[in-house]
Amino acid sequence: LRPFSRLDDARTLTGSVGLGLALCNSIARAHGGSLSLDEAESGGLKVTVRLPLASQAGEPATGQHDT
């Protein structure tokens, strides 16, 4: 999840610098959440982003709901 850049232009066609997952991780953590990477059953990458629920007032939810 660390940002990186490829120094050899021959190794990439997009010119990307590898910031996508690092930015997603930073955003998730800034909102009290997390990002995890795992191997998917299909053999690819499984990315899980977890964010806490928020109440209507914008405060973190306590797990109790008014009805």
The H or E element containing residue 11 is: none
Task: Tell me the pLDDT of the chain (67 aa) as tens digits.
Answer: 776 666 666 665 666 666 888 899 999 999 999 999 999 999 898 999 999 987 655 565 555 444 4
Q: What is the pTM of this model?
A: 0.60
Q: Can you give the pLDDT at residue 37?
A: 92
Q: How far apart are the C-alpha atoms of 60 and 37, rounded to whole Å? A: 25
What 8-state DSSP symbol labels residue 9?
G
